[in-house]
Amino acid sequence: MSLLVLGTVALDDIKTPSGMKRNMLGGSATHFSMSARLFAKVHLVAVIGKDFPRKELQFLRRKGIDLTSVVQAPGETFRWQGEYKKEDFNTALTLGTKLGVLEGYLPEVSAEQRGIPNVFLANIDPDVQMRLLDLIGKPRLIGLDSMNLWIRIKREPLMKLMKRVDLFVANDGEARALTGEQNLIKAAKKLRRFGPGLIVIKKGEHGVLFYSDKFAFSFPAYPVEAVVDPTGAGDTFAGGLMGYLTKAQKLDLASLKRAVLYATATASFNVENFGMAATAPLTLPAVNKRMRELVEFISC
């Protein structure tokens, strides 16, 4: 089964207590693809600059990701410089952002891709996300992620988007900012009223809360002792979630629980090394092994 993802492809400079790495392949859609590819055929919709390293394109292709709708535009690839402090690994400090080719980017997809039944709008400007929705048909399942910046400066387009998607993924800070509710159960209920039937609130090292009209559930995170770089953990999580739901082709309680567990498992790998160093070599058997450990760790 196929899964279309729109989002950013970036080159990241990241500093964490474990060290500093420059020019790493990053971006919301890239991290998403790196875990979603384990479960489904991923079609990436993104823009890169003229400076984008050829070897990274080859790398993505080797990972089985369809790059038909990755456009190379004049200008520089989107760059993000971030830091994580030892005291709070859950919060990324943005040291610098260079939009580059992201500015003015209008996504395009091939005629064939328009019919892909599963779509994820990874974190990028809500106007760009909306543009993609206008391009495509009526997918079976549309997922949406965003970030605090857009909640602050593009609330209205974001609220319009919420009405058109089935699944919304947010971290706890975003859920609180978007709803004004401190209590995450209340926040989840309010997000539900904004439109999406399926609400997933990620709480970083504290796990995840799922809410829908029919059922709610919660899982703790996989216990990672040595967090090296959390960049992209949320995107990796979303990739595991949407990837598994694409494969399962069902939205019943058992499939949703399994999808959230796969999301948790893939995200736990992501934080164990810089950039995609831990998720790039990942195989489904390795993820399944961790799934079994995770289930044992959290089963009651």
Report the interface residues with a second copy, using CB under 8 A: 86-87, 89, 182-186, 203, 205-207, 209, 216-221, 223-227, 257, 261, 295-300
Smallest gap from Cβ 256 to a second copy, in A, equals 11
Residue 232 · residue 250 · CB < 8 Å: no
Least distance in angstroms from the C-beta of 190 to a second copy: 11
- Of residues 17 and 104, the one with the C-beta less far from a second copy: 17
Nearer CB in complex with a second copy: 17/115: 17
Tell the smallest beta-carbon distance from residue 281 to a second copy (Å). Answer: 24
> Is the CB of 131 or the CB of 192 nearer to a second copy?
192
Smaller CB separation from a second copy, 53 or 223: 223
Q: C-beta of 154: minimal distance to a second copy in Å? A: 25
Minimum separation from the CB atom of position 48 to a second copy (A): 35
Helix (H) or strand (E) holding 145: strand 141-145
Nearest residue to 123 via CA among 89, 71, 80: 80
Q: Whose Cβ is closer to a second copy: residue 44's or residue 259's?
A: 259
Give min distance, CB of 164 to a second copy, in A: 28
Which residue, 1 or 224, is less far from a second copy as judged by CB? 224
